[in-house]
Amino acid sequence: MGSQPFSALRGFKDLLPGEAEKWVWIESVARETFSAFGFAPIRTAILETSELFTRSIGATSDIVEKETYTFDDWDGRKVSLRPEGTASVVRAWLEHGLVNGVQRKFYYLGPMFRHERPQAGRLRQFHQIGAEVIGEAAPRHDVEMLSLLCDFTARLGIGGLTLEINTLGCPHCRPPYRTALQRYLSERQADLCEDCLRRSAVNPLRVLDCKKEGCRKAVADAPCPVDHACGACGDHFKAVCDGLTDLGLAYCLNPKLVRGLDYYTKTAFELTSTALGAQSAVAAGGRYDGLVETLGGPPTPAVGFAIGMERLALLMSPDVVPRPAPLLFIVPLGAAAGRLLSPALFQLRQKNVRCEMGDEAAKLSAQLKRADRLGAAHALIVGDAEIAQNSAILRNMTTKAQQTLSLSTLADEILSHLAGR
């Protein structure tokens, strides 16, 4: 008896042909769109020193407290698989002196890791497409990010999304707001869940985001950050809303929207869909004007977002993904035909004709069956009789109609035939 076959870890998913094509297409649309908006690609390390995330996302955030994959490496150093991309981009930006470069807009795609309870649209290894603008304070950059997000999802043919926005204030207006919220929560302790009781002491804004019925009721009349926004935060938020209106982008104000990562200041947003069930956020982000400084850099404003690729894929109709070009299946009958057809196979592939070749030892019927199962549009058949006549048979796999081509000009004839299709 052999040992049990392995299977992937819970919350880790293989992307098989069929589904993977969708992802490749999402990635290619992302590259095109983000580049049109002036973003340059950046790829950062997947494993980082754990402190990077403790300091940026926040030691009391759920992500750092209970979701990050953290372990000691062989050098005894505490390291974590990145749970998100922003901290790593800022780390790389500082480490490589990008502060002096002309490029301020970056985008990335790749895996992130959080030990959450897996369910539809929530995995432990998930993938984000993210964008960060570092060094820009003006509200028009928040608007630029949101327009990029809306345009990208539109290019993927995803409709029915809602853009929810809020302002979370700044170091000037957040502390008095926090105090007001804590005062409000202290009077409703009996209604809060255990997590929120703890949160109300260490991270009270997160209580606004609790999904539990009791907590939702308890915070129904809670003070909101926007009511306590200082003049600068209020003006910034108004300019962002006006900018969205100018671009004809619909949004709704959600005064209770808060984020699970501690670095946000001013604008915060989520792009949500009711089609996703509990995991309604397809994308989320906001401004993080204090993060660069927190990570040891100069005071530098920044804004960004990340999109969950699994959730995008769930929302996309399979019909929008372009189908690959039809396949030409080459059927060699015998070793001589195999040898003769190999150069044609190579030449056609060099010209981007999607080709596959059968096993020269297999029978015609078996090879045609395989061509059929692969969904080939045409089969090209050559056996000893065709070689003797310097010819090849091109068979339409749907209509079964056949025509004879010349072996000496085979690749050119096929190319002109496929072009005229």
Q: Which residues are near ligand HAM by CB under 6 A? A: 84-86, 114, 116, 121-123, 126, 128, 130, 132, 260-261, 281-286, 288, 304-306, 308, 310-311
Which of 200/272 has CB closer to ligand HAM? 272
DSSP codes of every residue in 68-125: S-EEE-TTS-EEEE-S-SHHHHHHHHHHTTGGGSS--EEEEEEEEE-----BTTB-SE
Instruction: Give the nearest residue (CB) to ligand HAM.
Output: 308
Least distance (Å) between residue 364 CB and ligand HAM: 48
Residue 133, beta-bridge partner list: 105, 303
Least distance (Å) between residue 236 CB and ligand HAM: 16
Which of 52/282 has CB closer to ligand HAM? 282
Residue 284, beta-bridge partner list: 270, 306
Which of 69/184 has CB closer to ligand HAM? 69
Helices within 139-297 (DSSP H only): 139-155, 174-186, 194-202, 213-218, 231-246, 291-294
* CB neighbour list of residue 239: distance below 8 Å, 6 or more residues apart: 139, 140
Least distance (Å) between residue 361 CB and ligand HAM: 47
Which of 31/354 has CB closer to ligand HAM? 31
Which of 11/223 has CB closer to ligand HAM? 11
Bridge-based pairing of strands 161-167 and 252-253 is: parallel
Which of 68/367 has CB closer to ligand HAM? 68
Contact indicator for 29, 230 with CB cutoff of 8 Å: no
Which of 306/321 has CB closer to ligand HAM? 306
Which of 89/355 has CB closer to ligand HAM? 89
Bridge-based pairing of strands 281-287 and 265-273 is: antiparallel
Bridge-based pairing of strands 281-287 and 105-113 is: unpaired
Which of 267/367 has CB closer to ligand HAM? 267
Which of 288/329 has CB closer to ligand HAM? 288
Least distance (Å) between residue 218 CB and ligand HAM: 24
**Within 10 A of 236 (CB to CB), how many other CB atoms are there?**
23
Q: What are phi and psi of 282, to 5 degrees?
A: -85, -35
Structure letter (DSSP) for residue 223: -
Contact indicator for 387, 405 with CB cutoff of 8 Å: no
Contact indicator for 400, 374 with CB cutoff of 8 Å: no
No. of helices (H) and no. of strands (E), the chain = 15, 16
Least distance (Å) between residue 59 CB and ligand HAM: 16
Which two three-digit tokens encode residue 127?
Answer: 């993938």
Cα of first residue to Cα of last residue in the chain, in angstroms, is 54
Which two three-digit tokens encode residue 238?
Answer: 């108004």
Least distance (Å) between residue 77 CB and ligand HAM: 23
Q: Give CA separation, 348 vs 24, 328, 345, 392, 408, in Å.
A: 23, 10, 5, 15, 14
Least distance (Å) between residue 112 CB and ligand HAM: 7
